[in-house]
Amino acid sequence: MEGEITGQIGTGLALLVGVTHDDQEADAVYLVEKISGLRIFDDEDGKMNLSVLDVGGSILSVSQFTLYGDTRKGKRPSYSQAAGGDKAEPLYNRFNDLLRAKGLTVETGRFGAEMDVELVNWGPVTFWVESPQK
């Protein structure tokens, strides 16, 4: 529905999540461990030393197949590396369930929908996190 808010968080991480043809559950498990433990929030001394779990933060997880848009040739991105919805949606949902199993509150958008995503980027601090198999 237009104007409907499907996910909203305060302190935490906004994740743009892309899935490729080669991704497996082991990749999701690795990424959940990595993301939930990344020490990227400031401690009392202003040093990036705390994880999203440490600060009691939440996750806004947004499916984003365009992350795997290949722009190396021509003017139109190729999305041949992005998994189709039949593979991507179950793995995306599993990823979110694994984050929840870590004790994190996870809000999402609507898979495959056109969405307006709004965020306040502290810092700005932005990281690209991939499974080591990539």
Cis peptide preceding 124, ω within 30 of 0: yes
| Mean pLDDT within 52-67 | 93
Contact 58, 7 (CB under 8 A): no
pLDDT tens track for 64-88? 888 888 899 999 999 888 888 899 8
Domains of the chain (ranges; CATH) run 12-108 (3.50.80.10)
Of 32, 13, 9, 14, the C-alpha closest to 96 is 32
Q: Say which residues have a Cβ less than 8 Å from residue 101's Cβ, sequence separation at least 6.
A: none
Chain centroid to Cα 99, Å, comes to 10
Neighbours of 19 (CB within 10 A): 25
The more confidently predicted of residues 37 and 113 is 37
Q: What is the pTM of this model?
A: 0.89
Q: How far apart are CA 111 and CA 87, in angstroms?
A: 12
Question: How sure is the predictor about 123, in pLDDT bands with cuts at 50, 70 and 90?
Answer: confident
Residues catalogued as catalytic: 64-66
The reported pLDDT for the residue numbered 32 is 97
